[in-house]
Amino acid sequence: MTDKRTTSQRLWRTFERDTRAADRPARRSMTHAVRALLVTLCVGGTLSACSRDGAKREETKDAATPEATHGDEAASATAAPRVTLSEAASRTAHIVVETPRRDRVSAVGDGMEVPGQVEFDPSRVAVISPRTGGRLEQLLQVPGDRVAAGQVVAYVQSTAYVTAQNDLLQARRRAALLRGTTDEPGAQALLDAARRRLLLLGASDTLVRRLEASDGATDAWLAVTAPFAGSIIETSALAGQAVEAGTALYKLADLSTVNVAAYIPERAALAVRAGQGARISVAGISQAMFTGRVTRLADVIDAETRTATAIITVANTSRALKPGMFATVTLTTTDRETVEALTIPSDAVVMSGNERYVFVEVGPRTYERRAVQLLATVSAGIGPLSRRVAVSSGISADDRVVVRGAFTLKSELAKASLKDVD
């Protein structure tokens, strides 16, 4: 449970919040702290008049400066990144802001995006182990190898295996001698029991038949085989070591089908149902989209992340999806159930990898970057801002969202971050 919670928290931090390491250094020098304090104390719009060392001469008028909170490391670790433009830079940026609009949109049908992670299908994972103890003679596979069902993957030298073979030969000879006598049923029962014992130790039907037809030759090594076709993903044994019955030699996984764990916000959990369609995309994979269906949804909400985990089964015949990969899941439905949601022009949304964020005006020429999660896409109005997106988290109805000039602010924030690094 702890691992799942840690994973979902990390994914939501990646999906909803800014990774501060890319935009801010982990530490601030004392020079930067002093500079931030001086910026805070500057009067009016003369931010550019405060230099790094506190000199009174003007450094630049068109520079963008980050939010003046560098002196408190704890605060900078949690505060959203901000950028403040000078008057000249603001005039050239042509920033346009507006408050979100309430529209009726599809709750899930148009595509609710949530973070996810590729996982093994637990019904397609197995541990390969010997059924009797002995000495591990050979390991024939390494992680990454693909094996067929029934393929030999290891050999174990087992005294119990040799003994079971000899018992079978003796039972066969006894049954032959007592054939046609009153003792034949008992002898046949012993022969059947000797066969079952060999099979329980891992011998194949073919080997048992061959042994009964042989002149008494036995095998010293017991072959350990794969229960189904798949890929060796882990080995935990070494040739030459003593092993017990059930000792894990390999972990085998059939990756032709995988699961994707999708982390559904509490507010949307009731809109997700078993059988619902889903599209999965993973950064770095050329294939545009994978499709699957929700097979189950957790009945509880994680107390820390406030999410429910939905399991999506996805065909993976190309084996492009690797367990452990982070994914973006778009849930879809066939119904057109609608809800009221906040919408903004799509031009307001800025992409950074799998992250989406907007800039919100928080003061004169000052803008804060906010990570957002999109719920759906709707068409509204006409003109360059006609396409709108519904936002499920990250902004409120009273926020003044930048709908034109967001990319300029992104650039200015990046330049301010580079100055901090210097």
pLDDT in tens, the chain (422 residues): 555 555 555 565 555 544 344 344 333 333 343 343 333 333 333 333 333 444 334 444 444 444 433 344 444 445 778 989 888 888 888 899 999 998 876 554 456 788 999 999 999 999 999 999 999 999 999 999 999 999 999 999 988 888 888 888 888 888 888 888 888 889 889 988 998 998 888 888 888 888 888 777 778 788 999 999 999 999 988 999 999 999 999 999 999 999 999 998 887 787 788 888 888 988 777 655 788 999 999 889 988 888 999 999 999 988 889 999 999 898 875 455 566 788 898 889 998 766 889 999 999 999 999 999 876 544 443 334 347 888 888 999 999 999 999 988 988 888 877 666 55
Longest Cα–Cα distance of the chain, Å, equals 118
Could you give the residue range(s) of every CATH 2.40.30.170 domain in the chain? 112-120+255-332
Q: Specify the pLDDT at position 25.
A: 38
Q: What's the confidence (pLDDT) of residue 333?
A: 54
pLDDT for res 323: 93
pLDDT at 61: 41
Residue-wise burial string across 195-220, b where 16 or more C-beta atoms lie within 10 A, e elsewhere: bebbeebbbeeebbeebeeeeeeebe
Quickly count: other Cβ atoms within 10 Å of residue 375's Cβ: 27
CATH number of 129-250: 2.40.50.100
Tokens linked to 136: 């591990």
| Stated pTM of the model | 0.52
- In the chain, the amino acid numbered 116 is G
Cβ of 356: how many Cβ atoms within 10 Å?
20
| Statement: 112-120+255-332 belongs to CATH 2.60.40.730 | no
Per-residue pLDDT, 99: 95
Polymer length of the chain = 422
* CA geometry: angle 274, 276, 278, nearest 5 deg: 125
**202, 207, 213, 214: CA torsion to nearest 10:** -90
Partnered with residue 119 across adjacent β-strands are 259
The reported pLDDT for the residue numbered 58 is 41
The predicted pLDDT at position 217 comes to 74
Indicate where the chain has its CATH 2.40.50.100 domain(s). 129-250
Judge whether 328 and 113 are in contact, CB under 8 Å.
yes
Question: Does residue 138 contact residue 368 with C-beta atoms inside 8 Å?
Answer: no
